[in-house]
Chains A and B, each alone.
Chain A
Amino acid sequence: MTENSLDTAGRQAAADKAGGERAAASTPGGAGAPDGLGGPAPSRVVAPPPDRVGRPPRPTLGRRAAAFADSLWRPALVLAVFFAAWWFVAAREYVPNYLVPTPGQVWETMTTQWSELARHTLVTLYETVLGFVLAAALGLVTAVAIAYSRTLDKALYPIVLFAQVIPKIAIAPLLVVWFGLGLTPKIILAVLIAFFPVVISGVAGLRSTDPELLDLAATMGAGPWRTFRKIRFPNALPHLMAGLKVAVTLAVVGAVVGEFVGASEGLGYVLLLANGNLDAPLLFADLILMSAIGIVLFVLVEIAEALLIPWHASRRAGVSLTTS
């Protein structure tokens, strides 16, 4: 197998001289990293000629780092500009300091109260992740039921829709009354809010299977389980991953809303405390940590997506999302 792919890669390089040489030049070691930063975007380097065949050569660590840096510098620049503007406004006191603290003050709060903040962050993170995982599992099961059975479709869709349209903030107090001040109501809220996009994307994905592929499976004498495992589920993955990305960011919202209503720990609880004490630096630090949770989890789902569906059009080299 290895021989084969090497062989293919070799022939491909020969066929596509320019692209092949460039790829070969940046292959050894980490030499690709600085090269990729200043040079053309990697997506353009590997832009395939129409008759390209086989797999592109495996990206080296250096090339990967270059690609990573390439995808990172734009958001980093935006962030830097944002922080500069914030610092400018706060330091010049265009806005009173008790409303908008300087980045320095926020940083100081974060470092001095780090152990406390870390504990609360972990609590919220735990609620979010657990809520997200449960929502993903429940959502997938529901999506399969809806996609496979007309009866369940008619029975479940209204319930799913109802669970979605009911304002979560309105039922949060009820959940606290039912389940107390512990973690349970927060997790339930995170599940409720993250569930919907999983179901919708899962159903869309499962229903998008080419009927011809299902015909094919039928002529192979395959039962529903094999057809699901080998055809329908992998086919649904691109849709499903899109839904999971939405869901994971919503799960954070669910957990925090749950903490607003009644909690003794978690970032939502800290936010209310800081608000009550007019402690703007703490409030800002808290907001930053909340966003960080959302971003980190989102990126993790993106990585899972890249690993699970490298074959999908949205993930192919040459049509990469970083191409501006």
Chain B
Amino acid sequence: MTAAPAATGTAIGMSGLTVRFTTRRSQTTALDDVSLDIEPGEFVTIVGPSGCGKSTLLKIVAGLVKPTSGEVSLLERPVRGPQKEIGFVFQKAALLEWRGARANILLQAEMRGMDRARAARRADELIEMTGLTGFEKALPHELSGGMQQRVALCRALLHSPPVLLMDEPFGALDALTREQMNAELHRIWRETGTTVVLVTHSIAEAVFLGTRVVVMSPRPGRIIRTFPVELPAHRDYAQVMSDSRFDRLATDLRGLLGSAAANH
């Protein structure tokens, strides 16, 4: 069940990614010459101002958006079309409004033709873990925004993908649930060795979860800097929050993001 990432090489390789969107009215450069290599088992968090191309970057890795120029590889293979060795959590929950929470999670299994009984067991585990018990049959419009995002998270985890791409998965959660979900995600990552790329607007989340924090500039999105996070691999939320290294890194990030926005 657990993913077995290749011990060597890169899980995700991006080199010289540039994306230009041409619409009838204007041309936008969403990403400008972005290069980043991510090793198997890494947890990379991406922070940056709104509209700098973070979602676009994840979609390129998933093969959903074609870069104007540049190369991407996933698990050592070049990305040409949509990739299926991934779990994707979209910025919007993207649930099927006619399916209950559990059925929405099981969509992943149905679309992949996974073994039904095993998928069902796994879905129940995930539902329990994310605190959705009792809401298995609730339709999306009957769930809160945060619960919808948790359903989307379960759906992305159902098939235990070797690579997990998450676009602000906890944006709609309250602070407390968010901390719990962070701790849960941290545990899953530690136990499975999944490679994770997570986009977030929360500096605390970026530092707590990441082994590396990538900071992007305002549009056109470039990588300004990447910070290694020098915290133990096994983290406890309260401990990390009171750690001086956490404080220093968070302050650095805040400063960098602030000055980047000011220069724009």
Return A225 CB to nearest CB of chain B, in Å: 11
Interface residues of A in 176-222 (CB under 8 A from B): 210, 212-213, 215-222
26 intermolecular pairs with C-beta atoms under 8 Å apart? A4-B134, A8-B134, A8-B137, A8-B138, A52-B142, A54-B142, A55-B137, A212-B90, A212-B94, A213-B96, A215-B59, A215-B88, A215-B90, A215-B94, A216-B90, A219-B62, A219-B64, A219-B82, A219-B87, A220-B107, A221-B82, A222-B111, A226-B110, A311-B139, A312-B98, A313-B141
List residues of chain B with CB within 8 A of the CB of A312: 97-98
Q: Is the interface of B mostly helix, strand, loop or mixed?
A: loop
Interface positions, chain B 119-151, Cβ under 8 Å from A, are: 134-139, 141-144
A45 nearest CB across to chain B (Å): 18
Q: A216-B90, A219-B88 are in contact. Are A53 and B135 (CB under 8 A)?
A: yes
- Asked whether A1 is an interface residue with its Cβ less than 8 Å from the other chain, the reply is yes
In the bound complex, CA of A221 to CA of B82 (Å): 8
Q: Which residues from chain A contact B136 at a C-beta distance below 8 Å?
A: 1, 4
| Residue contact B97 to A11, C-beta cutoff 8 Å | no
Whether B111 lies near A220 (C-beta < 8 A) is: yes
Shortest C-beta distance, B122 to chain A (Å), equals 15
Binding site for A on B (CB under 8 A): 59, 62-64, 81-84, 86-88, 90, 92, 94, 96-98, 107-108, 110-112, 134-139, 141-144
Question: Which chain B residues border A313 with CB–CB below 8 Å?
Answer: 141
The interface size of chain A toward B, counting residues with CB under 8 Å, comes to: 33
A53 to B84, alpha carbons, bound, how many Å? 33
- Distance between Cα atoms of A8 and B101 in the complex (Å): 14
A231 an interface residue at 8 Å Cβ cutoff?
yes
Chain A residue numbers with a CB within 8 Å of B143 are: 53
Task: Bits for A30-53, please: 1 = Cβ < 8 Å to B, else 0.
Answer: 000000000000000000000111
B64, B86, B94, B138: the one within 8 Å of A55 (CB): B138
Q: How far apart sit A179 and B110, CA to CA, in the bound complex (Å)?
A: 48
Asked whether, in the complex, the Cβ of A53 is within 8 Å of the Cβ of B138, the reply is: yes
Residues of B within 8 A of A215 (CB): 59, 62, 64, 82, 88, 90, 94
A119: Cβ under 8 A from any B Cβ = no
Instruction: Identify which of A1, A54, A213, A217 contacts B138 (C-beta below 8 A).
Output: A54
- Other A-B contacts than A52-B142, A54-B142, A55-B138, 9 sampled, CB-CB below 8 A, are A1-B136, A212-B94, A215-B90, A219-B84, A226-B111, A227-B111, A230-B96, A234-B98, A311-B141
